[in-house]
Amino acid sequence: MYIQTRLINKTAISPKVCTSCNSEILIGQAYHREEGVKEHLHSLIARQFCSDCYAKYGELMLLSGRFDRK
Ligand SMILES: [Zn+2]
């Protein structure tokens, strides 16, 4: 089942790890978190991306998973 999601610009209130590059997103840093356009996202693990990856790959690329995993 395909669930359409989008990325929301957030500020970290707790430390996170970028899904793409595994770098730490520190408290107070901006990041992008995946949110479901439809209601049941909590059954999935929301991906989260640092602002570097967002700038580098863009939303469509990140959501489709077509970025380089290192
Ligand atoms: Zn990243």
The answer to whether residue 69 sits within a structural domain is no
The answer to whether residue 56 sits within a structural domain is yes
Tens of pLDDT, residues 31-70? 999 987 665 555 567 899 999 999 999 998 898 876 655 5
Separation of 49 CA from ligand 1 center, angstroms? Answer: 5
Q: Decide if pLDDT at 9 tops 90.
A: yes
The answer to whether residue 70 sits within a structural domain is no
In one letter, which amino acid is 43? S
Separation of 1 CA from ligand 1 center, angstroms? Answer: 26
Tens of pLDDT, residues 10-30? 999 999 999 999 999 999 999
The answer to whether residue 17 sits within a structural domain is yes
Separation of 36 CA from ligand 1 center, angstroms? Answer: 20
* Residue range(s) defining the domain that contains residue 40: 5-64
**Residue 23 in tokens:** 């770098």
In one letter, which amino acid is 50? C
User: Nearest 5°: phi and psi at 68?
Assistant: -75, 125
Separation of 5 CA from ligand 1 center, angstroms? Answer: 18
Count how many domains the chain has: 1
- Per DSSP, the three-state class of 55 is helix
